[in-house]
């Protein structure tokens, strides 16, 4: 049984690593976005209502969706949570429905996060993703490799927006890391290494 949380600032690559480790361990990678998209029945109606009103999903509704997802048969051998919990209140709520075995913190500096995130661009036409600083880099920094569409940067990937998101991470999510440190179930990985080296480091710890 491997009930895992992957945690780290935006740009740390935690989603990429969660996908890799999910395949290696044959357990589901559960992101908050996937949970919201896969909600069914009454929960789906509530999610649609909140999103259509322009509001944020509250913690109680998110917990209900997560509880439903963790009841699926594919989580019997474990799971990887990516993007949840984001604050201490969510962590305490999570503790009421399941017991986490290990938390993997993928750590990068604010400078590295800023470099990675500020390089992100998307194709205006086909929505393909690129990164001018890291990878995948487009052949032409102004045009999409797939359809020749114009490459644009989203407002939330501009430096000022990134800095605000990092402040929120430090204020709201870092206290969770301290809690897991106190419990002795957190492993910190250097997220500024090569992608394969990060995966190898995580698998060595888990296996």
Q: Which residues are annotated as catalytic?
A: 14, 86, 120, 154, 165
CB-based contact 43:132 (threshold 8 Å):
no
As to burial, measured by CB atoms within 10 angstroms (0-12 exposed, 13-18 middle, 19+ buried), residue 46 is middle
Residue (of 95, 102, 86, 96) closest to 25 by Cα position: 102
Q: Which residues contact 2 (CB under 8 A, 6 or more apart)?
A: 25, 27, 77, 78, 79, 101, 102, 206
**Nearest Cα residue to 7 out of 136, 188, 199:** 188
Beta carbons within 8 Å of 136's beta carbon, 6+ residues apart: 129, 130
- List beta partners, residue 31: 82
Three-state DSSP class for residue 27? coil
Contact 18, 82 (CB under 8 A): yes
Q: Who contacts 14 (Cβ-Cβ below 8 Å, separation ≥6)?
A: 6, 7, 8, 82, 104, 106, 191
């Amino acid at each position: 049984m491997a009930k895992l949380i992957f945690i780290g600032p935006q740009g740390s690559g935690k989603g990429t690593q969660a996908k890799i480790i999910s395949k290696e361990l044959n357990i589901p990678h559960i992101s908050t976005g996937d949970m919201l998209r896969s909600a069914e029945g009454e929960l789906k109606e509530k999610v649609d209502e909140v999103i259509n009103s322009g509001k944020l999903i509250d913690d109680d509704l998110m917990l209900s969706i997560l509880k439903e997802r963790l009841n699926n048969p594919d989580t019997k051998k474990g799971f990887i949570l990516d993007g949840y919990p984001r604050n201490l209140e969510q962590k305490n709520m999570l503790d009421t429905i399941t017991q986490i075995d290990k938390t993997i913190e993928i750590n990068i500096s604010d400078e590295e996060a800023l470099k990675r995130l500020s390089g992100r661009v998307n194709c205006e036409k086909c929505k393909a993703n690129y990164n001018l600083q890291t990878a995948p880099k487009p052949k032409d920094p102004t045009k999409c490799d797939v359809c020749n569409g114009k490459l644009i940067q989203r407002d939330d990937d501009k430096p000022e927006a990134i800095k605000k998101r990092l402040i929120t991470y430090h204020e709201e999510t870092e206290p969770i890391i301290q809690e897991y440190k106190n419990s002795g179930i957190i492993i910190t990985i250097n997220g500024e290494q090569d992608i394969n080296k990060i995966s190898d480091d995580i698998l060595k710890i888990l296996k």
